[in-house]
């Protein structure tokens, strides 16, 4: 009887415990507490969404907090690595914008103006006294220099001064006179043939029309324009090897066909400039802008030349490459026109120094 109150108190405690914990394990720990302890002991699983991040346990939070810091460090390391990359790994510079047609035309015309200041004395470099002599000399100038032609023609024209005289000549005698110009047999046939055509078809006179000139033996468009421009004052573009080379170097054309080059250049310059343009370009090609080794370091128009650097750029070395009056040497004409600043060329057989 004395233990009844104690038993009653114990039963009351069991009821309180049952209401607060729902269930109590055999060791006096609630089943809910045991479940919580097991969850705390399990490794944290990465959250897969907003609900996972919100329901993460305290043990998982430090891991989550560390991830952004690692990413930041990696980003800084990447930036540092990029900053120390060699310059060779940098992206190549964008190529220069191609020159427009308008810009090329303006540059070409400026080249012509500046060459006019450099060579105000530019002229045909063949000696002649009339259209017939100029025509024959131009035919003879193929595959040789104007200097060699000028040294050869005085004896030829002294013996055969007119088309009638040359047409009636003995071929072997003509061959011997023009032998120094090379290809003398083929050239003899050409000049005697054109002399006969002038005698028979044009009354012994050189015609002043392109269509008539190109019908003569050995006469093409280049020869015809030399005669028309310098004997008749008819504008024309003389596309010889020098003109072709410089027109391509200056990016006036990409063609290597003389007829196409002539047509393209004709659209760049006014007709009134054609003859003198030809003289200036040929002068520049013979004296400065040579085929094998251009004297770039002594060229007065390098600021306009897209091919600068193809030749010698050292000024002292380049000056030694200059020819004719630009290099202090005799010119090509034995009888140069007034105003020519150089020395006359020596006659055949004389020293050229």
Catalytic residue set:
222, 240
DSSP secondary-structure letter at 144? Answer: S
Q: Which residue matches tokens 């008819």?
A: 234
Spatial distance between the Cα atoms of 82 and 70, rounded to a whole number of angstroms: 19
Q: Which of 314, 304, 308 is nearest to 105 (CA)?
A: 304
The residues near 324 (Cβ < 8 Å, ≥ 6 apart) are: 286, 287, 330, 331, 332, 342
Distance of CA 92 to the CA centre of its chain: 19
Tokens standing for 151? 């040294």
DSSP states along 203-251: TTS--SSHHHHTTSTT--HHHHHHHHHHHS--------HHHHHHHHHTT
Contact indicator for 246, 277 with CB cutoff of 8 Å: no
Spatial distance between the Cα atoms of 285 and 295, rounded to a whole number of angstroms: 10
């Amino acid at each position: 009887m004395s233990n009844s109150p104690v038993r009653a108190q114990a039963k009351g405690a069991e009821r309180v415990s049952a209401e607060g914990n729902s269930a109590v394990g055999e060791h006096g720990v609630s089943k809910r507490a045991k479940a919580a302890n097991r969850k705390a002991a399990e490794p944290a699983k990465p959250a897969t969404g907003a609900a996972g991040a919100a329901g993460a346990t305290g043990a998982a939070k430090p891991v989550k907090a560390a991830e952004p810091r690692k990413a930041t460090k990696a980003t800084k390391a990447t930036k540092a690595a990029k900053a120390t990359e060699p310059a060779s790994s940098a992206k190549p510079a964008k190529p220069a914008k191609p020159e427009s047609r308008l810009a090329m035309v303006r540059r070409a015309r400026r080249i012509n103006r500046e060459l006019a200041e450099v060579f105000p004395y530019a002229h045909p470099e063949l000696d002649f006294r009339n259209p017939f002599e100029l025509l024959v000399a131009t035919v003879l100038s193929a595959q040789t220099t104007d200097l060699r032609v000028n040294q050869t023609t005085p004896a030829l024209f002294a013996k055969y001064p007119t088309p009638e005289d040359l047409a009636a000549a003995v071929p072997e005698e003509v061959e011997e006179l023009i032998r120094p110009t090379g290809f003398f047999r083929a050239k003899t046939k050409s000049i005697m043939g054109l002399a006969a055509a002038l005698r028979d078809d044009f009354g012994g006179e050189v015609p002043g029309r392109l269509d008539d000139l190109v019908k003569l033996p050995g006469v093409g468009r280049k020869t015809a324009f030399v005669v028309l421009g310098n004997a008749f004052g008819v504008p024309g573009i003389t596309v010889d090897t020098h003109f072709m080379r410089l027109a391509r170097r200056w990016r006036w054309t990409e063609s290597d066909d003389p007829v196409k080059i002539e047509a393209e250049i004709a659209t760049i310059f006014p007709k009134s400039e054609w003859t003198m343009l030809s003289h200036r370009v040929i002068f520049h090609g013979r004296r400065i802008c040579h085929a094998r080794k251009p004297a770039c370091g002594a060229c007065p128009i390098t600021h306009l030349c897209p091919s600068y650097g193809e030749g010698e750029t050292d000024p002292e070395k380049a000056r030694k490459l200059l020819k004719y009056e630009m290099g202090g040497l005799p010119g090509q004409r034995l009888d140069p026109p007034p105003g020519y600043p150089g020395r006359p060329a020596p006659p055949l057989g004389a020293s050229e120094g």
